[in-house]
Amino acid sequence: MKIKVAGSQRARMAGLIIGSFLVFAFIIAPSCSKKSKFPPPPETRQDNVKEVLHGVELVDPYRWLEDQQAPETREWIARQNAYTHSILDKLPGRDRLRQRLEELMRVESISVPIERNGRYFFTKRAADQDLPIIYMREGLDGEDQVLIDPHTLSPDHTISVQIREISAGGQILIYSKRRGGEDEVSLHLLDVDRRINLPDSLPRARYFGVSFVKSGDGFYYTRHGKEGSRVYFHRLGSKPSDDRKIFGDGYGPDKIIFSEVSEDGRHLLIHVLYGASADQTEIHYQNLARGGSIVPVVQNIPARFYGTIADGRLYVQTNWQAPKKRILSVRLNQLPQHPSRWREIVPESESIIEGFSLVGGKLFVNYLENVVSHIKIFTPDGQSDGEIELPAMGSVSGLAGHWQGNEAFFSYSSFLIPTTIYRYDVSSGQKSVWAKLQVPIDSEQFEVKQVWYTSKDSSRVPMFLVHKKGLELNGKNPTLLTGYGGFNISLKPGYSSLATIWVENGGVFARPSLRGGGEFGEEWHKAGMREKKQNVFDDFIAAAEWLIDNKYTNPEKLAISGGSNGGLLVGAALTQRPDLFKAVACFYPLLDMIRYHKFLVARFWIPEYGSSDDPEQFQYLLKYSPYHNVKPGTKYPSVIFITGDGDTRVAPLHARKMAALLQHATGSDNPVLLLYDTKAGHSGGMPVSKRIEDMTNWLSFLMWHVGM
């Protein structure tokens, strides 16, 4: 990119050039003249909006595309979609790919059940259905009874439903309706016995922490609005407009707040998360039985705390003075008391504590050891009480049950082992299969292994590889590299139809555990956030180089994909090392890191990325921001951006602007496409038919480019 500094700032900035880097914006040069086997993309007008931030002049050629509803933007989207389909619809092998995706994805699926008073609530989707239906069983082996069928709610199956909460007696179900992939939902209450909706519906908004009181005649919930998160109490039969606000005043929109009533109904916990990565968390407590006031339990400690209550004690998982986490406990009658005086129940170890559940009077602790799940059991005073045996290298999620109960349910899967839901009997220590996903694959012909490689700064990073047994290391294998690296999120080995279909076609599926994630504790997370975000991109690029150096593949056979924060990852990778990759799929991405925090709920992410409002953070954001590091004339790989109007989390403007910019600037013959959906979005909820259609589109694009 060309460098341009505001004239009045030149003298003052000149001294920074020697001995330091200088971060600048760009001016877009005309596209290189070139012949292409593809038709040219639609022309996109440039408005070249100029602004000066911290002494640096930025030129934004596609600022007008930020206005999502403007007629000119809508017309541009239509032209882009037409152009994209003019290429995608002609790709070879699409029918065969779609057919195999139908076989892999149109299978029965079922969720981990939630038990209330002998009733089991869960979602299930039959193989020939588009959306999960909410069911209930009377007793463990009872007949499946339909409670809410979302297929009747919209003709195009774009409205989905989700269980949000169930009263202790199992008589009232709170469920959400989601349109497309929006984050916003509406909440509805179902009288389970009479199968009728109660009038207590809450309008479309962002909701967190829906939790019934013990009697079932009311519930707490958090609604997030422009002013921030606020906790309310709704009494059944009353108008939502009359709901009483109980907590949240003074907290801005960058905080996430949720509440939870204890199993015995006597206590209320409120958590305040400082941003999406929650590097600082507050806990507040109220004794509901005595009607006491809400008091702070944890405040002003720069660490993560998550608590739950059972048997008169508060159990808290924290990374405070323990980067790999530990579990503390304190009696409720000793609150408020500083955490330094709490009892350590489960100490920090070499393995990461991912989470814990209180079931059957015991603590079930989910550990992550070298990115593989293990479940260990402890007594309330911290004594070891065994471990749940699991099949090979895989991951556990959703472990839940009741403190006063005797059963726990959890989900287990691995790359080539479809999801299995287990029921664990606490008293006998026996587990049994409650449900199993039946997928038509022959996992015996594949292998999964974990390798370690060295990143740019000599850090060692693990990576999972999936491929057919007996793979020839000839440097010619089509390889799909994907990752995330952010927000303390751990990418564990779970079942993936994407990995399955890729390796069935002779490819290698690779997923490194990048810094910024939570795979190795808080130090691993902090090594990939804010001013250290470049480490994440370096880890990803080093993974690509390792795959090439070890004869798995070569740049002409290497594709990459990533979504959301992973979209930022592949956006940075393609702008920093365009020579390494043949094709890129970039989903719902953040790409303009100078303006990202100005849209939707992106203020949640400032603790993770930083903000260009801060002069120092502006420097490192501009240095890697994909939108600001496109260099005209560079031979970029083939790219497909995927987003849609329904993404109300990451603004679709990122993909719109970046697609226009790359189309204009690339010096290669490779196509740059935008696949833009007017309904789908970030939060899922898409019907299976739509997911198959989208996956056929972008996966055929990648496969075609790497010669599969």
User: What are the catalytic residues?
Assistant: 564, 682
CB neighbour list of residue 496: distance below 8 Å, 6 or more residues apart:
415, 509
Token representation of residue 504:
């069935």
Rounded CA-CA distance 282/297 in Å is 7
Question: Please, are residues 637 and 583 in contact by the beta-carbon 8 Å criterion?
Answer: yes
**Sheet strands (E) in 469-536:** 479-482, 508-512
Three-state secondary-structure class, residue 637? coil
Please identify which residue in the block is written with the tokens 């839940």.
400
Question: Please, are residues 63 and 49 in contact by the beta-carbon 8 Å criterion?
Answer: yes
Enter the DSSP assignment of 241: G
Sign of CA dihedral 522, 526, 527, 529: positive
Token representation of residue 483:
């990752």
Rounded CA-CA distance 272/210 in Å is 15
Q: What is the DSSP string of 150-186?
A: GGGT-TTS-EEEEEEEE-TTS-EEEEEEEETT-S-EE
Token representation of residue 599:
């849209």
Q: What is the DSSP string of 277-319?
A: TTSSEEEEEEETTTTPPPEEEE-S-SS-EEEEEETTEEEEEE-
Rounded CA-CA distance 154/178 in Å is 11
Question: Please, are residues 423 and 431 in contact by the beta-carbon 8 Å criterion?
Answer: yes
Rounded CA-CA distance 216/636 in Å is 58
Question: Please, are residues 447 and 470 in contact by the beta-carbon 8 Å criterion?
Answer: no
Rounded CA-CA distance 417/186 in Å is 35
Three-state secondary-structure class, residue 63? helix
For residue 580, how far is the Cα from the chain centroid? 26
Q: Work out the burial of residue 696: count CB atoms within 10 Å of its CB; fewer than 13 is exposed, 13-18 middle, 19 or more buried.
A: buried
Token representation of residue 588:
């719902």
Token representation of residue 280:
């600082």
Rounded CA-CA distance 296/269 in Å is 10
- Cα-Cα-Cα-Cα torsion 497, 562, 371, 502, nearest 10 degrees, comes to 30
Question: Please, are residues 600 and 254 in contact by the beta-carbon 8 Å criterion?
Answer: no
How many helices (H) and strands (E) would you count in the chain? 11, 39
- How many C-beta atoms lie closer than 10 Å to residue 311's C-beta? 15
- How many C-beta atoms lie closer than 10 Å to residue 194's C-beta? 9
Question: Please, are residues 163 and 175 in contact by the beta-carbon 8 Å criterion?
Answer: yes
Q: Work out the burial of residue 189: count CB atoms within 10 Å of its CB; fewer than 13 is exposed, 13-18 middle, 19 or more buried.
A: buried
CB neighbour list of residue 493: distance below 8 Å, 6 or more residues apart:
371, 372, 393, 394, 395, 413, 414, 415, 448, 464
Among 548, 583, 541, which Cα is nearest to 668's? 583
Please identify which residue in the block is written with the tokens 């009733």.
119
Q: Work out the burial of residue 20: count CB atoms within 10 Å of its CB; fewer than 13 is exposed, 13-18 middle, 19 or more buried.
A: exposed
Rounded CA-CA distance 488/567 in Å is 16
Question: Please, are residues 573 and 686 in contact by the beta-carbon 8 Å criterion?
Answer: no
